[in-house]
Amino acid sequence: SGRLYLVPTPIGNLGDMSPRAVTTLQEVDLIAAEDTRNTAKLLNYFEIKTPQISFHEHNTMERIPLLVDKLLAGQNLAQVSDAGMPSISDPGQELVKACIEKQIPVVPLPGPNAALTALIASGITPQPFTFYGFLPRKNKDLKAELATLANERYTLIFYEAPHRLKKTLKALLEAFGGDRQVVLCRELTKQYEEFLRGDLQAAYDFSSTEEVRGEFVLIVAGNSTPNQAEQVEQDTNLSLKAQVEA
Ligand code: SAM
């Protein structure tokens, strides 16, 4: 069979496209792209003539059998998303699973990714970390998820759209408290790259005074204080034990 190449693309700076990524896109038979018009610009820039087929969240399931057939027939395929690593808060994972099932080799290329790029410049402990991606949009789901994450000790990485930043920071502030350290990493690799470091209260204040623009990754420090629910449980156990012993 052919191979499925997973090809990361720049998150803003075309200079981050690796020579291997260019060669791979040139040499495969077909590129499965999240948005073919968007990827056409990248292909133009690097003078890559390979044909494309659309592969996005709304046609994943109908496309997979077609792409798997092409791979089984010996064609090499590359999968790309609009920016950064395929499968990271982007389409790709279902195709990878389908290939593994059919024993089609999957070849990942390293490259641009917003989460790790933000993490290494944040100044917040880089490991262990939990990459979350986009939080749920529905209020109820958002609250429930943040209630669980509030006790996470690992550094947390979130993606968010600019028009939702304020709402998300408010929810984070309510769930984690205003003192928790956060870094808003804006426009990574681009002309107006910026890191806003502070606590959740300051970050929320920032997001509510300004019309926020650009792309953001949020790096949030983990919870460094003992889990309160656990604490209560331990105390209860202690008093129970004391009663039993008495
Ligand atoms: N696959 C991509 C990756 O590997 O990073 C992520 C795709 S996700 C649909 C888009 C989100 O990634 C944005 O909403 C933002 O949170 C983050 N992002 C992408 N590019 C960015 C950049 N240049 N600066 C800051 N955040 C970025």
Q: What is the pLDDT of residues 54-87, one digit of tens each?
A: 999 999 999 999 999 999 999 999 999 999 999 9
ipTM for the assembly: 0.99
Mean pLDDT of 103-113: 98
Among the listed residues 181, 221, 230, 229, the one whose alpha carbon sits nearest the alpha carbon of residue 203 = 181
For residue 156, give the DSSP letter: E
Cβ-defined contacts of 64-67 (< 8 Å, 24+): 64/94, 64/95, 64/98, 67/32, 67/95, 67/98
User: Which residue's CA lies nearest to atom 11 of ligand 1?
Assistant: 159
Question: Which of 215, 218, 220 best tests ligand 1's pocket when mutated (most atoms within 8 Å of CB)?
Answer: 215
pLDDT band with cut points at 50, 70 and 90 for residue 206: very high
**Atom number of ligand 1 nearest to Cα 118:** 25
**Of 33-42, 157-166, 221-230, the least confident:** 221-230
Given this model, what pLDDT does residue 211 score? 83
pLDDT tens by residue, 3-23? 999 999 999 999 999 999 999
Mean pLDDT of 37-45: 98
With b for 16 or more beta-carbon neighbours within 10 A and e for fewer, the 208-221 pattern comes to eeeebeebbbbbbb
Helix (H, G, I), strand (E, B) or coil at 92: coil
Given this model, what pLDDT does residue 71 score? 98
Distance 80 CA to ligand 1 centre (A): 14
HSE-up of residue 201 (Cα within 13 Å, Cβ side): 3
**Gap between the Cα atoms of 27 and 8, Å rounded:** 15
Residue 234 has pLDDT above 70, yes or no: no
Q: What is the mean pLDDT of the chain?
A: 93
For ligand 1, whether the C-beta of 187 sits within 6 Å is: yes
Given this model, what pLDDT does residue 226 score? 43
Residue 232 has pLDDT above 50, yes or no: no
For ligand 1, whether the C-beta of 219 sits within 6 Å is: no
Between strands 194-199 and 216-220, the pairing is: unpaired
Given this model, what pLDDT does residue 29 score? 98
Question: Which of 196, 213, 216, 219 best tests ligand 1's pocket when mutated (most atoms within 8 Å of CB)?
Answer: 216
For ligand 1, whether the C-beta of 111 sits within 6 Å is: no
pLDDT band with cut points at 50, 70 and 90 for residue 210: confident
CB 197 within 8 A of CB 24: no
Among the listed residues 207, 164, 209, 163, the one whose alpha carbon sits nearest the alpha carbon of residue 182 = 207
Mean pLDDT of 194-220: 94
For ligand 1, whether the C-beta of 34 sits within 6 Å is: no
Mean pLDDT of 24-47: 98
Given this model, what pLDDT does residue 228 score? 56
pLDDT tens by residue, 117-154? 999 999 999 999 999 999 999 999 999 999 999 999 99
**Gap between the Cα atoms of 62 and 58, Å rounded:** 9
User: Which residue's CA lies nearest to atom 23 of ligand 1?
Assistant: 188
Between strands 30-33 and 181-186, the pairing is: unpaired
**Gap between the Cα atoms of 97 and 93, Å rounded:** 6
